[in-house]
Amino acid sequence: MPHQRDSGRDFPGRRWLNLTLRTAHLAGIVLLGSALLGGGDPAAGAGVAFVAGLAMFAGDVWANPGHLREVAGAGVLLKLALVAVMALAPALALPLFWGILVLSGVLSHAPGAVRHRRLF
């Protein structure tokens, strides 16, 4: 059943900060993907993507603590777990990268009623 989202916290410039972090995150994903396809060391891309992604997630949870109970928040936790598996099992890194990319696309472009559905 759909629910009313919790009222969130905000601060001046939050939208621009999130836009900057999202751009850095995408650049890190491109660097990581190119490295996994043979274009260099994956550490730089993974680092940029991880730090920017974690900062975006922290901002989302700060603005709306209920985010952790939603499909979108659980999806981020799942993606972080898959990234950890990538680090522990480098042979699986490329297929996991593509899986995370697909999961990210689905979660970020799904209707709000799906993304913000409460799991618990």
The CA-based dihedral angle spanning residues 53, 98, 80, 31, taken in that order and rounded to the nearest 10 degrees? -40
Q: Where are the alpha helices (DSSP H) in 65-120?
A: 71-88, 93-109, 112-115
pLDDT band at 9 (very low <50, low <70, confident <90, very high): confident
Residue 36 near residue 94, CB atoms below 8 Å: yes
Calpha distance 71→116 (Å, rounded): 6
pLDDT single digits (tens) 26-41: 999 999 999 999 988 8
What was the pLDDT predicted at 4? 53
What was the pLDDT predicted at 29? 95
pLDDT single digits (tens) 53-71: 999 999 999 999 999 999 9
Residue 81 near residue 95, CB atoms below 8 Å: no
The letter for the amino acid at 38 is G
Calpha distance 54→75 (Å, rounded): 13
DSSP helix/strand/coil, 12:
coil
The CA-based dihedral angle spanning residues 15, 19, 20, 21, taken in that order and rounded to the nearest 10 degrees? 100
Q: Tally the C-alpha atoms within 13 A of residue 88's C-alpha that lie toward its C-beta.
A: 6
Q: What is the mean pLDDT of residues 84-111?
A: 94
